Structure 1
Amino acid sequence: MAKVRVIKPIHRMEAEAPKLRVCAYCRVSSDHTGQLQSFSAQVEYYTRLIENNDAWTFAGIYADEGISGTAKDKRDEFLRLIADCEAKKVDMVITKSISRFARNTADCIETVRKLKTLGIAVFFEKENINTLSAESELLMTVLSSIAQEESISTSKNSRWAIQKRFMKGEWKPSYLPYGYMKGKDGGIVINEEEAAIVRRIYTDYLNGKGTYIIAKELTEEGIPTRKGAEAWGENVVKEILTNEKYYGDMLLQKTFTTDTLPFKRKRNRGQKQSYYIANDHEPIIAIEQAERVREIMEQRKIEKAMVDTDTRKYNQRYPFSSKIQCGECGSTFKRQIIFKGKPYETVQWCCTKHIMNRAECSMTAVKDNHIKAAFINLYNKLKSNHDKILTPLAEDLKKLHCGREHESQVKEINKRITELTEQSHVLSRLRSKGYLDSVLFIEQSNLITKQLHEAKKQRSKLFEYNAFNDEAARTEELIAFLKKQDDLMESFDENIFSLMVEKIIVRSKLEIAFRLINGLELPEIIGEEVV
């Protein structure tokens, strides 16, 4: 038998634990005097708090003034904080609340996770959350969603004030198109040098030239653009030819800001009200010219119109079609089959921009079965914990947006919508299994669709009356739907996925986020297949 010798431990004097390098992040969202006084108080408070703690070393104050928290890339001090954390200059960050740190759920969770991997804690005083604790992520998801909702509410109030000015015809655009400039009294006056180019563009188009040729000739002649670009673009010429301001009218709210974060500007194609003011200012071209240009454009559009029905059908062939978005460039993912015909044939989804040019987007492909496995994990978490995740969120949203006098009506309508949605789900399953003939399926499906439309229309009226946000109602729909499901999910269910998920955002090769129908984004790690 081998002889075992015990080596006793060496007792050394334990070194004194190093002090934590602690910094604070402060932010105010406007530059009004009251807000800046609050900002100054925050800086003074955190400086004193950190310096008075013997276990901490003061690592600085990072402070953004007069900047919204909805987008992290617009906050210089915030970005400097992250850079210093990556450089190992900070051990802990203190901030007043989640809403001061970020009002965009995705940014908040992403940043906290990033700092967590670096071993850096973020402490939110108001919520009493230390992000290095085990339960922090669940709380962060819910609370940052509420902070995001408050930001959306503020944005809606601002837009309401702007729309009131639109209705009175008082709005003067901050940016005027090529050919116009602001006069001494703030009114719109003609810039004669640029107006000559505008008149030439209209004349050339009416004489048969296309927008590409017009732009090419202007560029070759070295005619300067308004924004100092080297070349005239075809779209710039088209914008000039379709802008009502050139014949003296004004269309307000051509674009609008989305109601949910991240806020994006979109072209108004009838989603929002617009306001038309005739004879608002001096025209550059005659209305008859503009009408003739419009007629020519419509004719050319008809001649070029070709509907690719095969492509449209393809976009709906698979459960993830048109639903996967690249977190880096925003492009849609395309389905691919690699190693086709081999025993290890694989279905994957890849960013269309990455496929065309890898230099423009570095996002790599994700496997189809990994996405399905991630959804199964997400569904089972929500099914088991919806009372901890979704129910508190729904309650907070109702407090923010719903009047008590109509709360019971909203609940009844939501219940009806859930029942009809479930009926549609059952009908589809019966049809797929061959238990229902096509005629009866179409008849019943159309009836349910009509009833759903009427119920949602009725609910929308209540929402408008109470300024009730759609996220609250959809959150309740999700809760009701999850309660009706009997079991946890073992294999991917396409119908459940389509009812719950609005979009999938691929953040990296190891992480995706599911944007649910209520706007809540929940991340999942990918890479492990379901066994």
Structure 2
Amino acid sequence: MGDALLQKKFTTDTLPFKKKKNRGEKPQYYVENSNPPIVSKEVYQAAQELQKARNVSHKHEGDYPLTGVLHCPECGRTFRRLLLNGTAYWLCSGKAAGATDCQSRRVRENAIFDTFCLMVDKLASHRQDLLGTLIHQLEMMQNHGSESQEKIRQIDKQIADLSAQNLVVARLHTNGVLNATDFAAQSSVISNKINGLRLDRKKSLEEDENDELIYTLKSLDDTLAGYVLGVPFSQALFEEIVQSITVVDNSRLTFHLIGGLAFTEQIPENVRCRTA
């Protein structure tokens, strides 16, 4: 619609200089009519309202905290909720529909909530050893950013030099100076070197892509820092930190959390489901 938000990213002021996503560290500027609009503001606003209406309509009143979260370890399908004699259970949707022969058992809803609380209690109790250590290691890797950037520049130069050599070899072959056998041999050697350098470059780039992960882990650490051990199940906390759950079997759940973390926790004996 012709407007623009400036300084969505910024470069750090100290070494190693890095470009980071602006999450409030620097001011942002909203500029109206900065470029010719593709659509009018009226059309844009109408589209936004329509999108909001669709999002609301997709939120069913029957949605629960576990909807779309539980996954079957055998077929990968999500679990569905069912009520039996007033007790809520979750069962593989494929098995419930008779579409699969999964051996996974149903699991009580309260068992999942209780197991989540146990997992969070342990994670919060040992967050310094787990999250603190992991964040520190990632930040140490990040501090080598300037070295990585220099390494990438050197790799790029080597790739450019080898590409130039390959071009020379190709021209020599075209002009009849190199026969087909020698051309193929020399070209293969150069190509292998280039491929190896590209792999090294990819690894160096991956070392510098931890900003988002560190931010997510620090957010999780901050959340757990204020967590009170032994409190009842919190839907808000659950939805904030849990991405999915794998029902390993009738005695274990694996919680996949934000930041790529995964923890397997035993379901308390007294709430385990003994029947399929």
TM-score, length basis structure 1: 0.28
Is 1:476 the counterpart of 2:222? The answer is no
Partner AA of 1:391 in structure 2:
G
Structure 1 residues 461-490: Cα deviation after superposition (integer angstroms, max 9, x where no partner): xx99942253332111111111133x2132
Secondary structure, in 3 states, of the residue corresponding to 1:321? Answer: coil
**Could you say which structure has the greater relative contact order, defined with CA pairs below 8 angstroms and 6 or more residues apart?**
2
Question: Please, which of 244, 247, 251 is the counterpart of residue 510 of structure 1?
Answer: 251
Equivalent residue, structure 2, for 1:326 = 72
C-alpha contact 1:394 1:472 (8 A) present in aligned 2 = yes
In the aligned structure 1, how far is the partner of 2:240 from the partner of 2:127?
16
Report 1:207-226 matches (<5 A): none
- The change in CA–CA distance for 1:524 and 1:465 in structure 2 (over 3 A counts) is closer
In the aligned structure 2, how far is the partner of 1:519 from the partner of 1:402?
21
**Deviation of 1:361 (Å):** 1.7
Equivalent residue, structure 1, for 2:172 = none
**Deviation of 1:322 (Å):** 1.0
Equivalent residue, structure 2, for 1:383 = 124
C-alpha contact 1:347 1:367 (8 A) present in aligned 2 = yes
Equivalent residue, structure 2, for 1:367 = 108
TM-score, length basis structure 2: 0.51
Is 1:499 the counterpart of 2:275? The answer is no
Partner AA of 1:467 in structure 2:
E
Partner AA of 1:374 in structure 2:
T
In the aligned structure 2, how far is the partner of 1:524 from the partner of 1:388?
18
In the aligned structure 2, how far is the partner of 1:505 from the partner of 1:402?
35
In the aligned structure 2, how far is the partner of 1:382 from the partner of 1:518?
14
Is 1:490 the counterpart of 2:236? The answer is no
Identity of matched residues, %: 26
Question: Please, which of 340, 350, 357 is the counterpart of residue 91 of structure 2?
Answer: 350
Question: Please, which of 336, 356, 365 is the counterpart of residue 82 of structure 2?
Answer: 336
Equivalent residue, structure 1, for 2:209 = 467
Partner AA of 2:212 in structure 1:
D
Structure 1 residues 301-321: Cα deviation after superposition (integer angstroms, max 9, x where no partner): xxxxxx9987x3338721111
- The change in CA–CA distance for 1:338 and 1:524 in structure 2 (over 3 A counts) is same
**Structure 1 unaligned runs (5+)?**
1-306, 340-344, 406-462
- The change in CA–CA distance for 1:402 and 1:474 in structure 2 (over 3 A counts) is farther
C-alpha contact 1:315 1:322 (8 A) present in aligned 2 = no
Structure 1 residues 263-300: Cα deviation after superposition (integer angstroms, max 9, x where no partner): xxxxxxxxxxxxxxxxxxxxxxxxxxxxxxxxxxxxxx
Partner AA of 1:476 in structure 2:
K
Partner AA of 2:249 in structure 1:
S
Secondary structure, in 3 states, of the residue corresponding to 2:59? Answer: helix
Structure 1 residues 231-271: Cα deviation after superposition (integer angstroms, max 9, x where no partner): xxxxxxxxxxxxxxxxxxxxxxxxxxxxxxxxxxxxxxxxx
In the aligned structure 1, how far is the partner of 2:72 from the partner of 2:61?
17
- The change in CA–CA distance for 1:356 and 1:317 in structure 2 (over 3 A counts) is closer
C-alpha contact 2:94 2:100 (8 A) present in aligned 1 = no
Partner AA of 1:514 in structure 2:
F
In the aligned structure 1, how far is the partner of 2:270 from the partner of 2:145?
46
C-alpha contact 1:504 1:515 (8 A) present in aligned 2 = yes
Structure having the higher Rg: 1
Partner AA of 2:215 in structure 1:
A
In the aligned structure 2, how far is the partner of 1:316 from the partner of 1:479?
32
- The change in CA–CA distance for 1:355 and 1:393 in structure 2 (over 3 A counts) is same
C-alpha contact 2:73 2:248 (8 A) present in aligned 1 = yes
C-alpha contact 2:121 2:229 (8 A) present in aligned 1 = yes
Partner AA of 1:526 in structure 2:
I
Partner AA of 2:81 in structure 1:
R
C-alpha contact 1:374 1:526 (8 A) present in aligned 2 = yes
Partner AA of 2:132 in structure 1:
T
Taking only aligned residues, the RMSD between alpha carbons, in angstroms, comes to 2.9
**Deviation of 1:495 (Å):** 0.6
- The change in CA–CA distance for 1:465 and 1:382 in structure 2 (over 3 A counts) is closer
**Deviation of 1:390 (Å):** 1.3
Report 1:408-487 matches (<5 A): 466-468=208-210, 470-485=212-227, 487=228
In the aligned structure 2, how far is the partner of 1:465 from the partner of 1:397?
9
C-alpha contact 2:141 2:207 (8 A) present in aligned 1 = no
In the aligned structure 2, how far is the partner of 1:316 from the partner of 1:512?
24
